Amino acid sequence: MNKYGLGQKTKTFFYIFGLICLSLFPFEESITYAQQTLIVGMFAEPSRLDGRSNSAAAHFLPTSVELLIWPDYDLKFRPKLATSWEVSPDGKKYTLKLRKGVKFHCGYPFNAEAVKLNLEGALGRLEGWVKGGESGMIDLIDEVKAADEYTVEITLKEPSGAFLYNANASYGVTSIICPSCLKKYGKDDFGIKHLCGTGPFKFGGWVRGSTVTFLKNKDYWDGEPKLDKIIYKIIKDDSARLMALESGEIDLDMDLPSHEISRLRKDPNLDVYIAESARTLYFFMNTKKGPTADKKVRQAFAHAINIQEIVKNVVGDIGQVPTGCMFSKVFGANKELAKFIPQYNVAKAKQLLSEAGWKDAGDGVVRKDGKPLQVTIVSMDHRTPKDRDVAEAIQNYLKKIGVDCKMQIVEWAYFTTGLRDTSFDMYTYAWRGITGDADYILGSQLRAGYRWNGTGYDNPKVQELIVLGRRESDTKKRLQIYFDLQKISLEDAVWVPIFHENVTVGTRKYVKGFKVHPSGRPYFHKVSIEK
């Protein structure tokens, strides 16, 4: 025993323990894996991989399941599981010819019967199938018939020029899954423990909170993919995900933080992809309650906002100055509408307020009947990029014209309740035109009484145009309808488009063949790793 009272046995124990610790903690580890394995860093985990999924699933499903018709990188329709389609003269019947020789991953044949089951199942008309959360997109379907083994006839309740767009927008609702596997696993376990489609990669497993794996489908109808495996790694924190990309722990980051893009572009090990997406951030104003119920007040607020300055200083690389109400490739978008977006003009803003009865009392705050003009702008905390930052910027602009503007940050559930109750004075939020058609955005934001119309907007002419635009089959007429609709909504100042969002994806240099899709969804069929 030494002076510290430590026995020989105790000393020996600590020596051995220390050696074990050192040997178990190598400072370098060489773990190799198959060359063609792509590791994708994802910012969110899906709740399920079926029609009841949350929006995150849209980034996973295209890897394994397919649509009948695919909106390509320009949001134009391309044959996928359907090779051609015709619309009847009355606009109510769609005849689709299906691709022959396609099989689901389990070997079950893809045919008209499978499509019929999928569509009717997504509408909640079949036992054992899941009614999709976005089934409203195809609820115009009256009947689906398998005319022959590779021909499907879809009859609508009424004509709809938006139908094809809506029917090929949501992977969760209208992607074609294997009816046989759904029956085998049951609707609750299919989409969690199993997924079976016709896509280039098969479902390889899901470790909750951690990874979702897909394996090469060697028999894919459009050619064997180059990648052997895709592993989606769930890394929610933006900084951690970026570090993982820079260190090579992941090969692709689906959502780069905007303030890092300039730096990342200079990194010789990375490629940065920036492309305009179908999502636009808007500033909305209540048309029924509070001071913004007055159109002149709304117009004043719209003129008080310097959109160019916001895009330059707040949004940066992740957005562009709006060219209209919607991203230019969405059907119904028109760059001519840019001139109807209220231009930054502080003098005009003050004049409009004055015309509405709000005058500066000399203390920098405008008042009417002795009461100051008080409003609250509501936003969430980066549920969509820059929503909060833009709201803060707008708050400052409004203060400059004498408005006492407060800000309230809320979470998603409270936000949806506020929209439904039209209880917010003003709010910022981004909507993605996932269908590639104007009906989706305009119909959800401007339709009277709709739960996502948080402004209470109900201009009768606009309501009429929404219905007409949906029903009209003639392309030229639809475009004119949507032009008029958007022009009126901008003149009414119910919403102000602030920026068209960019999709920003980062990859390691050795990832080849990747392209950014405006929907933000990844497509890996042509991607390979070249180290």
Give the binding site for other proteins (CB under 8 A): 1-6, 24-29, 31-33, 37, 39, 47-48, 52, 54, 131-137, 139, 170, 172-173, 187-188, 192, 207-211, 213, 231, 233-237, 239-241, 243-244, 246-247, 249, 411-414, 416-417, 420, 444, 451-452
| Residue whose CB is less far from other proteins, 245 or 462 | 245
Reduced to 3 states, what is the DSSP secondary structure of residue 7? coil
Q: Shortest approach of other proteins to residue 440 CB, angstroms?
A: 8
Contact 270, 103 (CB under 8 A): no
Measured between alpha carbons, how far is residue 127 from residues 130, 360, 368 in Å?
8, 64, 60
Closest-CA residue to 212 (of 192, 186, 227, 228): 192
Task: State the DSSP string of 424-447.
Answer: -SEEEEEEE-TTSBHHHHHHHHHS
In whole angstroms, what is the distance from residue 88 CA to residue 223 CA? 33
Measured in residues, the chain has a length of 531
Greatest Cα pair distance, the chain, in angstroms, is 101
The one-letter amino acid at 17: F
Q: Shortest approach of other proteins to residue 339 CB, angstroms?
A: 30
Closest-CA residue to 337 (of 346, 326, 329): 326
Measured between alpha carbons, how far is residue 101 from residues 118, 220, 257, 331 in Å?
18, 10, 43, 32
| Residue whose CB is less far from other proteins, 243 or 274 | 243
Q: Shortest approach of other proteins to residue 438 CB, angstroms?
A: 15
Encoded tokens for 205: 């497993």
| Residue whose CB is less far from other proteins, 27 or 89 | 27
| Residue whose CB is less far from other proteins, 66 or 238 | 238
Q: Shortest approach of other proteins to residue 121 CB, angstroms?
A: 15
Q: State the sign of the Cα–Cα–Cα–Cα dihedral 125, 126, 128, 129.
A: negative
Consecutive H or E run containing 120: helix 112-122
In whole angstroms, what is the distance from residue 176 CA to residue 254 CA? 24
Q: Shortest approach of other proteins to residue 494 CB, angstroms?
A: 18
Q: Shortest approach of other proteins to residue 342 CB, angstroms?
A: 27
Q: Shortest approach of other proteins to residue 257 CB, angstroms?
A: 13
| Residue whose CB is less far from other proteins, 131 or 348 | 131
In whole angstroms, what is the distance from residue 475 CA to residue 249 CA? 48
Q: Shortest approach of other proteins to residue 247 CB, angstroms?
A: 6
| Residue whose CB is less far from other proteins, 122 or 315 | 122
Contact 166, 440 (CB under 8 A): yes
| Residue whose CB is less far from other proteins, 150 or 201 | 201
| Residue whose CB is less far from other proteins, 8 or 32 | 32
Task: State the DSSP string of 188-237.
Answer: TTBTTTB---SSSEEEEEEETTTEEEEEE-TT-TT---S-SEEEEEE---
| Residue whose CB is less far from other proteins, 155 or 211 | 211
Q: Which residues pair with 430 in a beta bridge?
A: 281
Helix count and strand count (H, E) for the chain: 15, 22
In whole angstroms, what is the distance from residue 418 CA to residue 422 CA? 6
Q: Shortest approach of other proteins to residue 333 CB, angstroms?
A: 19
Q: Shortest approach of other proteins to residue 421 CB, angstroms?
A: 9
In whole angstroms, what is the distance from residue 332 CA to residue 321 CA? 18
| Residue whose CB is less far from other proteins, 216 or 233 | 233
Encoded tokens for 222: 């459009």
Q: Shortest approach of other proteins to residue 45 CB, angstroms?
A: 8
| Residue whose CB is less far from other proteins, 229 or 348 | 229
